[in-house]
Chains A and B, each alone.
Chain A
Amino acid sequence: MISFDFTEEQQMLVDSVRRYAEREMRKSIHDMDEARQLPDGLIDKGWELGLIPSSIPEEYDGFGEHSAITGVLYAEELAWGDVSATLALLAPNLVSIPVLEYGTAEQKESLLPKFCDDEFFCATSALVEPSITFDPYNLKTKAINEDGHYILNGNKVYVPLADTANYVLVYANEDGKTQGFLVEKDTTGLQIVAREHNMGLGALPTYKVNLENCKLPATAKIGGEEGLNFERLHAYSNVALAAMAVGQAKASYEYAVEYAKDRQAFGEAIAQRQSIAFMLADMATEIDGTRLMVWETAWKLDQGENASQEATLVRRYASDMVLTVTDGSVQTLGGHGYIRDHPVEMWLRNGRGFAIFDGIAIV
């Protein structure tokens, strides 16, 4: 039966995440971007929301079930607060969800409880490669099976929190298929090369990571011999990023609305002119439409359906939308939108990134 209502649990979750985004994230967005550093305690406070344990079943010390629809609801709220901090806070999902969905019994038992502790358990993954011909379904990073071991070679970028991660889930090409390999920190051949400096996501430490003859035991491969279903994980990631794009766009749109109603020109608020008002109305419409596509795709995934096409579509659509909206917000503020005192310029820098970030979040 078609419905757009939240469950009571979802409403409570969304409310508490929104409170965190509003009270904790928002106050630091400017300074953390300038300092290129997450403020002390921000992630720990976010961890108290229990978002990641809430998707892990009780038998592994969590208190819930994995649900994409719940995931996209909290991802949007968090991203409304700040995208950099959101990606840091949710980085452990990059390991916990692939393990939960495709891990062997041993992998689940040994790894999942680590994500249910009271303290933030840092983990991350490496998918994107530094090439304009990057193709997640045909990776240049290779995994070769040699005498019961895997040898990984290749270069990765956009690896969030790589320097502090206990595990890096490296995606590599094994016989033409994308598979995931769990690399523990300090493994020989795992090189955390350098912190990146990108146009946006200033506060999120992301790293270039190289794999040079990185030798792993056979047990490092997620799901053992059978491996994982990358297409499906990619769909979970695409809806997560699309949801965050919606959150980012909403933040920017709201700021533009407030500004346009306040800013006077020619004797009235600029929002009273159709050229501004219509741009804002279009933004609102596109944000809503994209959100509904995110929900529908997440709902399909939760039904166990193959929603890979839908996830690609919504990710593409959301990436375009967030660029249009964040750009429109800068445009609404005019010259002021270009000044770093207002957050819209940062949001435009973040917004452009959604077409490029791949696999750096998952719900």
Chain B
Amino acid sequence: MIDFSLPDNIKEQNQRLFMVASHFMRPIAREMDDKEHTKPWDFINMTWQVTSSQMKRRVKRLEKELAGEEVDKSGGNSFGTRGYMPLIYMIEMLSWGDAGIYLCLPTAALAGSAIDAVGTLEQKNRFLPRFSKGKPKWGAMAITEPHAGSDTSAIRTTATLDHETNEWILNGEKSFVTSGLMAAKDSDGILVVWATIDASAGRRGIKSFVIEANTPGMEVLKLEKKHGIRVSDTATIKLENCRIPYENILGNPEVQDKKEKKGFQGAMRTFDASRPLVAASAIGIGRAALEFTKEALEKEGITIRYNAPKHVLTSIERDFMDMEANLKAAWLLTLKATWMMDQRLPNTIESSMAKVKAGKAVTLVTQKAVELLGPLGYSCDDLIEKWMRDGKINDLYEGTGQINTLVVARRILGYDRNQLK
């Protein structure tokens, strides 16, 4: 039955996270943005209590499963929540608080998603328990290279098997690694790296590998200075003869047969889960901007007259309603993609649609908010200009809006990558 009512656990979570967002994120948002790359340790230590204990439950189930016991496999994910639905509500609310600080949340993040998607039970049990105990830790995903973004077939980082030691030797350079510093160096985290085991095989030779933090041969070269989400570190990581155990390869270690595309598609499936999360973050920022705009207008005695006829509506009212409707459409697409994820229905189209729409919506809403609010919007005294800078990333990472449009287009038209380039 079509239903939009929230289950009690999400309602409670919303209330709890609203407090966290308003009391622990908003007050430090500006300062963290100014300081760039300084970590919000109070927030990290506080949220680690929650994320690590959520992860504990997940790890217990994984241990049982490894011991051959029957377990309920539904819904666990590397962020520790049960099911993706509570997760997108969490991300939306924390991003409403501050998107940059949200990205500092200590979790396995996308590295965990990759292990979830293609890792074996043994690998899950090796790599995930660290996120349930000890000091805060981060996971990160390293795909992009200086000369290869969405065109992953152009990846040059190599993984060569040393048959004597049964180790993979990785060489190459990865850029734009979100939380790369925390995952690779400043905590006992993990990095999932995409590399080719056969450069002549193109896409079919690309595999993902888990590298544990501070493995010799892995070095953080620099941190990017960005337009927005400045508190979140975006690292360039160099791999020079970085040796990892053979068992750290995720998925099938063979170059895929030409006809069999499953390996790469398996890796791509990580995106079906991660794109709605990015969309949710976009929407949280958009909602912050929309709410601020509404309140600021109300202070000036301007209320939005939803039932006013065309000849009476002001341009501000029209703009505001467009912003609101766009954000709502994006959010509902995100809910649907997430619901399908939890129902284990194929959701590649829906997840890319949600990502495209949310990226566009947050860009529209935050840029318009700056315009509508005028000097108030443009000033660094408030957070609106920051939300505009933070929001834009959502139309860029996890595939730009255009790449995700391409994903949607191929699927709806039934074309493969050669038919629609």
Contact = CB atoms under 8 A, between A and B. Distances in A.
Interface in A248-294: 257, 260-261, 271-272, 274, 277-278, 280-282, 284-286, 288-290, 292-293
A293 B325 contact: yes
Contacts, number: 138
B2 A299 contact: yes
A277 B413 contact: yes
Interface string A226-246: 000001001000000000000
B41 interface: no
Contacts of B308: 135
A299 B349 CA distance: 24
Interface string B1-38: 11111110000000000000000000000000000000
A53 B214 CA distance: 71
B332 A308 contact: no
B357 A285 contact: yes
Interface in A126-140: 132-138
A17 to B, nearest CB: 16
A288 B333 contact: yes
B44 interface: no
A278 B405 contact: yes
Most chain B C-beta atoms within 10 Å of own C-beta, residue among A10, A134, A281? A281
Nearest to B310: A132
B321 A313 contact: yes
Contacts of A261: 413-414
Given A271-B415, A292-B332, A292-B333, A285 B2 contact: no
Given A3-B3, A231-B307, A285 B85 contact: no
A293 B421 CA distance: 32
B67 interface: no
Contacts of A316: 321-322, 325
B311 A4 contact: no
Given A2-B339, A296-B332, A317-B325, A308 B306 contact: yes
Contacts of A135: 308-309, 312
B420 interface: yes
Nearest to B407: A281
Contacts of A299: 2-4
Nearest to A273: B420
B356 interface: yes
A193 to B, nearest CB: 24
B56 interface: no
B148 interface: no
A300 B328 CA distance: 14
B33 to A, nearest CB: 31
Contact of A313 (B2, B324, B406): B324
A168 interface: no
B46 to A, nearest CB: 28
Contacts of B321: 312-313, 316
Nearest to A261: B413
B2 A272 contact: no
B405 A281 contact: yes
| Size range of the chain A interface in the assembly | 35 or more
Contact of B311 (A133, A278, A309): A133
B311 to A, nearest CB: 5
A1 B3 contact: yes
Contacts of B414: 261
Interface string A289-322: 1101101100110010000111011101100000
B419 interface: yes
Contacts of A285: 333, 353, 356-357, 408
B356 to A, nearest CB: 6
B368 to A, nearest CB: 15
Contacts of A313: 306, 321, 324-325, 328
A35 to B, nearest CB: 33
Contact of A137 (B2, B307, B329, B357): B307
Contacts of A278: 402, 405-406, 409
A2 B1 contact: no
Interface in B315-352: 321-322, 324-326, 328-330, 332-333, 335-336, 339-340, 349-350
Interface string B92-118: 000000000000000000000000000
Contact of B5 (A1, A234, A260, A290): A1
Interface string A62-91: 000000010000000000000000000000
A289 B325 CA distance: 10
Nearest to B356: A285
A309 B2 contact: no
B1 A292 contact: no
A296 B6 CA distance: 13
Interface centre among A5, A289, A290, A313 (most CB of B within 10 A): A289
Contacts of B332: 289, 292-293, 295-296
20 contacts: A1-B7, A2-B3, A7-B1, A10-B2, A133-B309, A135-B312, A234-B307, A257-B413, A261-B414, A274-B409, A274-B421, A278-B409, A282-B405, A284-B353, A288-B353, A295-B2, A308-B307, A316-B321, A317-B322, A317-B329
Q: What 3 pairs across the A-B complex have the smallest Cβ distances? A: A289-B329, A292-B332, A277-B409
Interface of B: 1-7, 85, 306-312, 321-322, 324-326, 328-330, 332-333, 335-336, 339-340, 349-350, 353, 356-357, 402, 405-406, 408-410, 412-415, 419-421
Given A4-B339, A288-B350, 15 more contacts: A4-B336, A5-B1, A10-B1, A138-B309, A271-B415, A272-B421, A280-B409, A280-B413, A281-B409, A284-B408, A285-B408, A292-B333, A292-B336, A308-B307, A312-B306
